[in-house]
């Protein structure tokens, strides 16, 4: 197995059904992994399912998926994907019996691309003490900590699933700046979201997923006016 020098994402005819609900419907996409990519879609569009398939956490019923040349459907190669990608799930799971400092030490031991200096800076930005137990943190602060654990890595691909959920407006502004900083430091950031203003604010490219199928893939520079992306998104989903 060989990781691509120029990272790309390739999915072909991906289909995934849960009982009677079709999360992904024969969807296909080829994408260069660079800059900030917003994965747009309404609730239930299939965004989290797609992300979990790309990481080899969930297996599709049919189709193929590769990330940076690695086969997400191969157990061995999916493990390599999960090692190299900094992923923060929508659930933001943490070890509640750990202190914040123990969580960062755990990540340092797990990942060679971990940066103590970056983690310290992010913890200071959100004023999270290292000696406090995770269980004692508020829900919003736990969300912040989970995001820090992803953004403190210098992974070339960072995937954030609904990262702004549970954050107050000030924290959202700070997070958007952190995502831009990660891009400026050389990472590609793929984040799912259904808040169009946040996506248009920082994304370089948008991918629209609707009813389990990729419906759009455009550069944000094509939408120079504040309402352009909103009109495009509504046009795409209403045409289905």
Q: What is the CATH number of the domain that holds 17?
A: 3.40.50.300
In a domain, 24, yes or no: yes
Say what the pLDDT of residue 6 is: 60
- Residue 3: inside a domain, yes or no? no
3-state class (DSSP) for residue 217: strand
Residue-level pLDDT at 237: 86
User: Looking at the whole model, is its pTM more than 0.85?
Assistant: yes
Predicted pLDDT at 194: 82
Residue 3 has pLDDT above 60, yes or no: no
How many domains, the chain? 1
pLDDT digits (tens, 9 = 90+) for 28-84: 999 999 999 999 998 889 999 999 999 999 999 999 999 999 999 999 999 999 999
> What is the band of 239 on the pLDDT scale with cuts at 50, 70, 90?
confident
Residue 94 within a domain: yes
pLDDT band at 232; cut points 50, 70, 90: very high
Instruction: State residue 50 phi and psi, 5-degree precision.
Output: -60, -45
1 in a domain, yes or no? no
Tell me, yes or no, whether 54 lies in a domain.
Answer: yes
CA distances from 52 to 37, 56, 60, 64 (A): 17, 6, 10, 13
The count of C-alpha atoms lying within 13 angstroms of the C-alpha of 114, restricted to the half-sphere facing its C-beta, is: 16
Let me know how many helices (H) and strands (E) the chain has, helices first. 8, 10
Per the CB < 8 A criterion, the answer to whether 196 and 229 are in contact is: yes
Is 206 a domain residue? yes
What are the tens digits of pLDDT across the range 39-51? 999 888 999 999 9
Q: How many degrees, rounded to 5, is the angle at CA 155 between CA 138 and CA 103?
A: 35
What's the chain's average pLDDT? 93
pLDDT of 151 higher than 60:
yes
| Residue 65 is assigned to a structural domain of this protein | yes
Q: What is the residue range of 88's domain?
A: 8-238
What is residue 92's predicted lDDT score, i.e. its pLDDT? 84
Report the alpha-carbon distance of residue 152 to residue 127 in Å, rounded. Answer: 15
In the predicted structure, residue 2 carries a pLDDT above the cut 80:
no
d(CA 188, CA 110): 21
The whole-number average pLDDT for the span 140-153 is 96
| Mean pLDDT on 119-129 | 97
* Side-chain half-sphere exposure of 47, counting CA atoms within 13 A: 26
Q: In what order do the strands lie in the sheet with 21-32?
A: 21-32, 8-18, 62-67, 70-71
How is residue 140 written in tokens?
């919003």
231 inside domain: yes
pLDDT-based confidence at residue 20 (cuts at 50, 70, 90): confident
For residues 101-123, give the mean pLDDT.
Answer: 96
pLDDT tens for residues 154-202? 999 999 999 999 899 999 999 999 999 999 999 999 999 888 988 999 9
């Amino acid at each position: 197995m060989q990781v691509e020098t120029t990272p790309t994402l390739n999915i072909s005819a991906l289909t995934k059904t849960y009982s009677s609900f079709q999360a992904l419907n024969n969807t296909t996409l080829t994408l260069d992994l660079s800059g900030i990519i917003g994965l747009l879609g309404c609730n239930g569009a299939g965004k989290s399912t797609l992300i979990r398939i790309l990481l080899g956490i969930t297996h599709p019923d049919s189709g193929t998926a590769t990330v940076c040349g690695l086969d997400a459907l191969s157990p061995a190669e999916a493990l390599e994907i999960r090692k190299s990608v900094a992923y923060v799930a929508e659930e933001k799971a943490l070890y509640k019996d750990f202190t914040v400092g123990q969580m960062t030490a755990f990540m340092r031991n797990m990942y060679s691309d971990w940066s103590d200096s970056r983690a310290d800076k992010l913890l200071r930005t959100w004023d999270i003490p290292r000696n406090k137990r995770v269980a004692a943190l508020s829900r919003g602060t736990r969300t912040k900590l989970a995001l820090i654990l992803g953004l403190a890595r210098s992974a070339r691909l960072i995937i954030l699933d609904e990262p702004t959920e549970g954050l107050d407006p000030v924290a959202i502004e700070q997070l958007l700046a952190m995502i831009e900083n990660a891009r400026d430091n050389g990472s590609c950031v793929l984040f799912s979201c259904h808040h169009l203003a946040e996506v248009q604010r920082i994304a370089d490219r948008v991918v629209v997923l609707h009813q389990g199928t990729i419906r759009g893939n455009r550069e944000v520079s094509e939408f120079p006016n504040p309402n352009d992306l909103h009109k495009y998104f509504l046009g795409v989903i209403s045409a289905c």
